[in-house]
Structure 1
Amino acid sequence: MITKTKNNCIKINHTKRCILCGLNTASDTPVCHECLADLPWIGTACQRCANPTVTGKLSRVICPTCQKKPPPFDQVIAPFEYRFPVDQLIQLAKFNGQAHLLNSLAELLSLQLQDKTMPELIIPVPLHQKRLQERQYNQAALLAKKIARNLDIPFNNRLLIKTENTPHQAELDRKARRKNLRNSFHCIGSPPVSVAVVDDVMTTGTTAAEISRVLKAAGCQKVYIWIIARTAKELHLF
């Protein structure tokens, strides 16, 4: 069991069986050591947007997209690429009612955050009320609440709301994604100096960029994006 206190703290509950192979695990994670090694970990990635790169030996690199036009968020943290078996776990948790898997995914992300700069507040990417009623739960909120508890950081599910029931981003091309989300998020009240926004997957970064713009317009100075998985595709944020 791993336990730290206050600054940079984390509390991980031991899971007896691996969520992937079902075998008993002596690991402090919900995945056994063997399966853990087989997960699609991101190696070298852009230090701003976490886009996986092929630059190999470089430990700190900013991708061409972020160099040309830096995104409004300050840093994305993502332990995994969005591919098997992480993509399947997320799909099951998100669309097949297996929300219990979110606790395990949150623990894996929490472990990756131990040495990172901690924000003053953790919030989820919000769902529109109609979408929330259809799905019954917001997977980002469940992830964020678990991570906030693990890291002993305040959690707020009401600071950011989505006022427009926009079409699914996956159904749209890059240009339409930006237009689709414009002015669809609103910040209620004044955010603290630093905020971490939690979601399950990041593809183009459009949602993260729009939320970051809204938070910074409301007075937030640092916005971190914490996600489970990142698609390994070229980014077009703007």
Structure 2
Amino acid sequence: MPEPVGVRRLLVVGTGSVTAAHLPFWASWLKTAQPGVEVRYVLTGAATRFVTREALVAIGGCDVLADRWPEEPEPRARHVDLAQWPDAVVVLPATLNYLARLALGLGDSPSMLALQCTEAAIALAPALPPGGVRSAAYEEHSAKLAGRRNVVVVPPHPGRSTTSGRREAWAPASFPDVLAAADALRAELATAQEKQEDQPQEEQQLEVQQQEEQRQERQRERA
């Protein structure tokens, strides 16, 4: 059994890759391996081609939302709740389309807008078709996302393509590895926040400026 993580409220977003079919297995694993973690799930419309909300509700025993704007008025904004509730977010699987929308700053669904605005740690686990990991789109968007303070991209590994049968697709990292990455980033952000609260305002501004300069330098190096 893995060590308990420090995450207490975990949001899991599943997108439209065939590997979304594995989410019920990971929901069962979470209940057993990390019983102290409260979990909520969001499924995109494309994800429901491979896994049902009913399966996740039954196995995970928790809320499973559809990633669409509600047709009827709600007393609370869904995207605000999704942004403020978790202290960590795992997107697994993360398709190239979802990564691109996130990198471009779009907010065209509740989960997308929530991830643009949340201060929680976000771990992305890409799932890509053959050639996807070497595509210009993936290289550009993953580098841009990795440059964000609260985002970590966990690289995919070679997997078997369901179309060709050859090991030329790119499967997402395992859920425990992605959760560990999210937890490590969550702890790092919490430490930085505590340190910032203890600093005088002028020192805080200087540190924020230095962090921004470092981030821009990393982006230039990737380019």
Q: Does the pair score TM above 0.5?
A: no
Using structure 1 for the length normalisation, give the TM-score.
Answer: 0.27
Using structure 2 for the length normalisation, give the TM-score.
Answer: 0.29
The structure showing larger relative contact order (alpha-carbon pairs under 8 Å, at least 6 residues apart) is: 1
Structure with greater proportional helix content: 2
